[in-house]
């Protein structure tokens, strides 16, 4: 015969188990935390843009070995060595001007790289076009910054 004491013990365990289940974190709260952790990261956005517009020539990691590289008269430079070539200072303004390309004399001929300022102004359109172009360029620059090779000690 089952003793009343045994039944009480069983029901206490059941209650404890139910309580434990309720205090376990729900998947929903974990999702919320991840969303907060991955708030807008310019370098990550820049990497997406780079994959879309730049890797065909510069290669996925910016090393100058994209599938179109060998068809160009001027080989695309290795973008991971920009800081090294600029004597240790990452040249943000030079890059912004170069990627945009609208100001340079080389945009009228010798340049092999597309003039992104023109292309994106056309595709973005509208009054906010210049602002949108500037944003994309600064995101790309943050990605390029993130792939710079460490400079060896001299």
Contact positions vs ligand HEC (CB under 6 A): 53-54, 56-58, 68, 72, 74, 76-77, 79, 82, 85, 95, 98-99, 111-114, 116, 140
Q: Which residues contact 81 (CB under 8 A, 6 or more apart)?
A: 148, 149
Contact, 144 vs 46, CB < 8 A? Answer: yes
Which residue, 116 or 147, has its beta carbon nearer to ligand HEC? 116
Contact, 96 vs 137, CB < 8 A? Answer: yes
What number of H helices and E strands is found in the chain?
Answer: 8, 0
Which residue, 113 or 134, has its beta carbon nearer to ligand HEC? 113
Q: Minimum distance between the CB of residue 145 and ligand HEC, rounded to whole angstroms?
A: 11
Which residue, 6 or 75, has its beta carbon nearer to ligand HEC? 75
Q: Minimum distance between the CB of residue 16 and ligand HEC, rounded to whole angstroms?
A: 60
Exposure string of 56-91, with b = 16+ CB inside 10 Å and e = fewer, is: ebbbeebbbbbeebeeeeeebebbbbbbeeeeeeee
Which residue, 18 or 89, has its beta carbon nearer to ligand HEC? 89
Q: Minimum distance between the CB of residue 33 and ligand HEC, rounded to whole angstroms?
A: 33
Q: Minimum distance between the CB of residue 131 and ligand HEC, rounded to whole angstroms?
A: 17
């Amino acid at each position: 015969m089952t003793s009343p004491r045994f039944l009480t013990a069983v029901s206490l365990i059941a209650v404890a188990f139910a309580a434990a289940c309720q205090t376990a974190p729900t998947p929903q709260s974990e999702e919320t935390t991840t969303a907060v952790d991955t708030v807008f990261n310019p370098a990550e956005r820049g990497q997406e843009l780079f994959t879309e517009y730049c890797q065909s020539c510069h290669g996925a990691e910016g090393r100058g070995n994209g599938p179109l590289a060998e068809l160009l008269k001027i080989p695309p430079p290795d973008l991971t060595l920009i800081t090294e070539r600029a004597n240790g200072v990452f040249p943000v303004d030079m890059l912004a001007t170069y990627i945009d390309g609208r100001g340079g004399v080389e945009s009228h001929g010798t340049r092999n790289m597309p003039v992104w300022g023109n292309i994106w102004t056309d595709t973005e359109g509208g009054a906010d076009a210049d602002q949108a172009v500037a944003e994309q360029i600064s995101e790309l620059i943050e990605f390029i910054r993130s792939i710079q090779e460490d400079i060896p000690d001299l």
